């Protein structure tokens, strides 16, 4: 059976907007309102960040939002409690993203069962090695109908990309350049040769580009080379602005989509 | 029981390489090359020459007569404090910089807590004329000013880590992020037996010179290669890994790891990972880790900035779990008393980290005919401000 991620890509193969936010930021109880508001504004897929004290792959914006979220007492049990009725309100594909240690402490098997019960569609655990996934967890993910999303970078060798493609069944997260999240040093999505190399491989999974996508220009450029793009740090900065959550979200999403021909 | 790393990078159930994909190629490049390069004759020739003439090896194994009398046993001090830059850290940085050069890297990054590893890295970068960037927690930059000055004088750029708790673990996070941002030209010299495989094994191999020398020195002085006890302090655990390395498979040699209890195990201000830690993942390695119930890494405390780490190397987690090593928790106060004791009995001022190993002597129950080796990992110059603050020398 297809999960919501697979259905989404089948229905809408181009121009997908995926948004990441850190659960528990800016306030503890903002999780569900942010999800519903993102859906209302036409976002296609949502990545809910589970905060971790030591997020190795993240730049300052996501680090700071994670610190605030942890101070606000966000935990995995708390997040699950907030999401318990989410599928009564929205059918947007939901992915949980976080680091392995908090998931390990919760119990990986218990975590996957619970996520599946709540209607979560996929997971991104950047520090879960492919080899461990295949050896210990792949069967459990599949039993629970969860896609495990892997990252590839401009440095990932072709053979490894193929291996990742074999073991995932949602999408491939193409990291735009060698950087942690939130880098805006490059004003354009310029790594064209890398995207075309991956696109030319005939992979079975679609790709989405993330890291450094922060405005309508970079979003549009990324969409030219993949099924869509992921925005995280820039959205978190928008959430942190003065004003109310609803307005901040709609202003930001409209600014991203402004170049699109509807 | 096997105490060497296995093909997948594990010591028992600890170790591995839990790194995001952005780091995979860097770590994989190192994994594929480190053993081959380390085995090359010209690498060994260059390494051995530098260890001898630049670092000052072999370091002496000194019979501490007055200390031995006090504890009614036979205590030898492995004098790593006499190395260039004042600690064992340079054994590893010399090795890794030669490796980095052979991998064609032109930019060196490192993390540091107390600054000893930062100084040892800045030193070898000056020697090899390579760019050097050292990440150091903002809090540590303030409390370890002399070492910051030394690094700068050696030509390194010291970048304060301002994230999280602004100490060693955050400096390590920042160094890893730098490596993600600079995957092609940069080599990360990790200072302890921590991090993703192959670092724990590689660093242990570079530090293993300590126990290699111990063997021949003990044979000459006592008639046996094997002491009854080897005691070393453990933060991440690199000096202990080096002191234990060639004795791991010799069960009659008791291995003792001294951890920092800080203000006491139950005080909430401690760094005794073997007691307070639970299995988890930090800096790419599955190991014992101080953390909350929810898996957030907690901030350890010790008077010694070098032992102030919430994890421990995966080898040590394995030695603890298998019972091969005995772990002792030493409080700040016990460590300070040991500093004064060694200073007044032997005329050697030890580093605060090392003092934790010295403070464990009284707990061994060593007999009059037994032999105890203490790995004297570093000298106390860097800690003089703390010593002056804590001891009242007026009128003495």
So which residues of B are the catalytic ones? 89, 111, 377
Out of A30, A37, A44, A58, pick the active-site residue.
A58
DSSP per-residue string spanning B229-292: EEEEE-SS-HHHHHHHGGGTT-TTSEEEEEEEEET-GGGS----HHHH-EEEEETTEEEEE-B-
- Residue-wise pLDDT tens digits, B201-217: 999 999 999 999 999 99
Give the sign of the dihedral formed by CA A90, CA A96, CA A102, CA A106.
positive
Q: What is the pLDDT of residue A260?
A: 64
**Which chain B residues contact residue A100 at CB under 8 A?**
18, 281
* Strand pairing report for B186-189 and B278-282: unpaired
Answer yes or no: do B45 and B151 share one domain.
Answer: yes
* For testing contact with chain B, the best of A28, A52, A97, A105 (most B CBs within 10 A): A105
Q: Is residue A95 part of a domain?
A: yes
Answer yes or no: do B245 and B373 share one domain.
Answer: yes
The number of domains in chain B is 2
- Residue-wise pLDDT tens digits, B285-320: 999 999 999 999 999 999 998 898 999 999 999 999
Using CA atoms, how far apart are residues A230 and A209, in angstroms rounded to an integer?
Answer: 6
Q: Which domain holds residue A118?
A: 16-255
Is the CB of residue A179 less than 8 Å away from at least one CB of chain B?
Answer: yes
Is the CB of residue A168 less than 8 Å away from at least one CB of chain B?
Answer: no
Confidence category of residue A188, pLDDT binned at 50, 70, 90 = confident
Closest Cβ–Cβ partner in A53, A56, A63 for B296: A53
DSSP designation for B22: G
Q: What is the pLDDT of residue A259?
A: 72
Answer yes or no: do B191 and B223 share one domain.
Answer: no
Last residue of a domain, one of B198, B230, B253: B198
SS3 A173: strand
Q: What is the pLDDT of residue B214?
A: 98
Name every residue in B having a CB less than 8 A away from some CB of A: 8, 16-25, 163-164, 169-170, 173, 176-177, 180-184, 278-284, 289, 291, 293-297
Answer yes or no: do B346 and B276 share one domain.
Answer: yes
Answer yes or no: do B140 and B232 share one domain.
Answer: no
Please work out, in degrees rounded to the nearest 5, the angle formed at the alpha carbon of residue A163 by the alpha carbons of A160 and A168.
125
Q: Is residue A8 part of a domain?
A: no
The number of domains in chain A is 1
Q: Phi and psi for A175 in degrees, rounded to 5? A: -70, 125
Q: Which domain holds residue B385?
A: 56-86+208-391
Answer yes or no: do B103 and B237 share one domain.
Answer: no
**Which chain B residues contact residue A160 at CB under 8 A?**
24
CA torsion angle B272 B278 B282 B286 (round to 10): 120
Using CA atoms, how far apart are residues A212 and A190, in angstroms rounded to an integer?
Answer: 11
Q: Is residue A5 part of a domain?
A: no
CA distances, A173 to each of A47, A103, A200, A217, B24 (Å)? 12, 20, 16, 19, 15
Residues of chain A numbered 32-71 and touching chain B (CB < 8 Å)? 52-57, 59-60, 63, 67, 70
Q: Is residue A262 part of a domain?
A: no
Last residue of a domain, one of B148, B172, B198: B198
DSSP designation for B171: H
Q: Which residues of chain B have pLDDT under 50?
A: 395
Q: What is the pLDDT of residue A178?
A: 84
Question: Nearest C-alpha of chain B: how many angstroms from A210?
Answer: 13
The pLDDT mean for chain A works out to 94
Question: Nearest C-alpha of chain A: how many angstroms from B306?
Answer: 19
Answer yes or no: do B141 and B245 share one domain.
Answer: no
**Which chain A residues contact residue B280 at CB under 8 A?**
101, 104-105
Is the CB of residue A108 less than 8 Å away from at least one CB of chain B?
Answer: no
Answer yes or no: do B47 and B68 share one domain.
Answer: no
Answer yes or no: do B169 and B239 share one domain.
Answer: no
Q: Is residue B4 part of a domain?
A: no
Q: Is residue B2 part of a domain?
A: no
- Residue-wise pLDDT tens digits, A25-71: 999 999 999 999 999 999 999 999 999 999 999 999 999 999 999 99
Answer yes or no: do B159 and B107 share one domain.
Answer: yes
SS3 A196: helix
Out of A30, A37, A44, A47, pick the active-site residue.
A47
Q: Is residue A164 part of a domain?
A: yes
Answer yes or no: do B239 and B253 share one domain.
Answer: yes
pLDDT(A2) > 90 = no
Q: What is the pLDDT of residue A184?
A: 74
Q: What is the pLDDT of residue A4?
A: 96
Question: Nearest C-alpha of chain B: how many angstroms from A34?
Answer: 23
Q: What is the pLDDT of residue B12?
A: 97
The domain spanning residue B118 has which CATH number? 3.40.50.1100
Query: Does the beta-carbon distance from B24 to A156 stay under 8 Å?
Result: yes
Question: Nearest C-alpha of chain A: how many angstroms from B201?
Answer: 19
pLDDT(A160) > 90 = yes
Query: Does the beta-carbon distance from A75 to B19 stay under 8 Å?
Result: no
Q: What is the pLDDT of residue A262?
A: 46
**Which chain B residues contact residue A150 at CB under 8 A?**
21
Last residue of a domain, one of B198, B226, B255: B198
The domain spanning residue A77 has which CATH number? 3.20.20.70
Using CA atoms, how far apart are residues A233 and A196, in angstroms rounded to an integer?
Answer: 25
For B26, which residue in chain A has the nearest alpha carbon?
A: A155
Q: Is residue A185 part of a domain?
A: yes
Answer yes or no: do B223 and B361 share one domain.
Answer: yes
Q: Please write down the long-range contacts of B31-36, taking CB distance under 8 Å and 24 or more positions apart.
A: B31/B197, B31/B198, B33/B99, B33/B102, B33/B103, B34/B99, B34/B198, B34/B202
Query: Does the beta-carbon distance from A75 to B294 stay under 8 Å?
Result: yes
Give the sign of the dihedral formed by CA A59, CA A61, CA A66, CA A71.
positive
Confidence category of residue A182, pLDDT binned at 50, 70, 90 = confident
């Amino acid at each position: 059976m297809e999960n919501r991620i697979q259905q989404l890509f089948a229905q809408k193969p181009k121009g997908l907007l995926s948004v990441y936010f850190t659960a528990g930021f800016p306030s503890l109880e903002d999780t569900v309102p942010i999800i519903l508001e993102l859906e209302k504004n036409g976002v296609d897929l949502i990545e809910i960040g589970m905060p971790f004290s030591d997020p190795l792959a993240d730049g300052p914006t996501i680090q700071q939002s994670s610190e605030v979220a942890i101070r606000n007492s966000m935990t995995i049990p708390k997040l699950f409690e907030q999401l318990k009725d989410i599928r009564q309100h929205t059918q947007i594909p939901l992915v949980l993203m976080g680091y392995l240690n908090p998931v390990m402490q919760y119990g990986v098997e218990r975590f996957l069962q619970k996520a599946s019960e709540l209607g979560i569609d996929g997971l991104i655990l950047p520090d879960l090695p492919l080899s461990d996934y295949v050896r210990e967890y792949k069967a459990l993910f599949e039993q629970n109908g969860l896609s495990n999303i892997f990252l590839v970078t401009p440095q990932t060798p072709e053979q490894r990309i193929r291996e990742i493609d074999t073991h995932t069944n949602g999408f491939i997260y193409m990291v735009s350049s060698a950087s942690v999240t939130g880098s805006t040093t490059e004003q354009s999505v310029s790594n064209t040769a890398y995207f075309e190399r991956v696109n030319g491989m005939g992979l079975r999974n679609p790709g989405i580009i993330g890291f450094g996508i922060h405005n309508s220009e970079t979003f549009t450029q990324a969409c030219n080379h993949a099924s869509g793009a992921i925005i995280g740090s820039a959205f978190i900065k928008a959430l942190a602005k003065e004003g109310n959550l609803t307005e901040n979200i709609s202003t930001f999403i409209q600014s991203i989509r402004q170049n699109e021909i509807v | 029981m096997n105490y060497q790393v296995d093909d997948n990078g594990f010591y028992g159930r600890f170790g591995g390489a839990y790194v995001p994909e952005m780091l995979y190629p860097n770590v994989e490049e190192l994994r594929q090359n480190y053993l081959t390069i380390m085995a090359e004759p010209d690498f060994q020739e260059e390494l051995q020459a530098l260890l001898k003439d630049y670092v000052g090896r072999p370091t002496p194994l000194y019979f501490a007569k007055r200390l031995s009398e006090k504890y009614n046993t036979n205590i030898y001090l492995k004098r790593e404090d006499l190395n260039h830059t004042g600690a064992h850290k340079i054994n590893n940085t010399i090795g890794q910089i030669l490796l980095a050069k052979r991998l064609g890297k032109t930019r060196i990054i490192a993390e540091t807590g107390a600054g000893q590893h930062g100084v040892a890295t800045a030193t070898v970068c000056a020697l090899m004329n390579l760019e050097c960037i050292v990440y150091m927690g903002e809090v540590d930059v303030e409390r370890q000013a002399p070492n910051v000055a030394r690094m700068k004088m050696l030509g390194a750029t010291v970048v304060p880590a301002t994230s999280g708790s602004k100490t060693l673990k955050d400096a390590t996070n920042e160094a890893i992020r730098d490596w993600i941002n600079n995957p092609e030209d940069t080599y990360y010299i990790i200072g302890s037996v921590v991090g993703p495989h192959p670092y724990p094994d590689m660093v242990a191999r570079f530090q293993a010179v300590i126990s290699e020398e111990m063997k021949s020195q003990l044979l000459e002085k006592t008639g046996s290669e094997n002491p009854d006890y080897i005691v070393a302090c453990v933060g991440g655990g690199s000096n202990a890994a080096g002191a234990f390395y060639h004795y791991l498979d010799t069960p009659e040699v008791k291995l003792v790891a001294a951890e920092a209890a800080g203000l006491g195990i139950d005080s909430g201000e401690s760094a005794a990972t073997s007691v307070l830690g639970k299995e988890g993942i930090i800096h790419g390695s599955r190991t014992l880790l101080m953390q909350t119930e929810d898996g957030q890494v907690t901030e350890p405390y010790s008077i010694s900035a070098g032992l102030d780490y919430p994890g421990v190397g995966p080898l040590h987690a394995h030695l603890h779990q298998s019972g091969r090593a005995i772990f002792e928790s030493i409080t700040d106060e016990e460590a300070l008393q040991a500093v004064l004791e060694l200073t007044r009995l032997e005329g050697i001022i030890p580093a605060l980290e090392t003092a934790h190993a010295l403070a464990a002597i009284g707990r061994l129950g060593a007999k009059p005919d037994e032999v105890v080796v203490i790995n004297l990992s570093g000298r106390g110059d860097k800690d003089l401000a703390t010593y002056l603050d804590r001891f009242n020398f007026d009128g003495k």
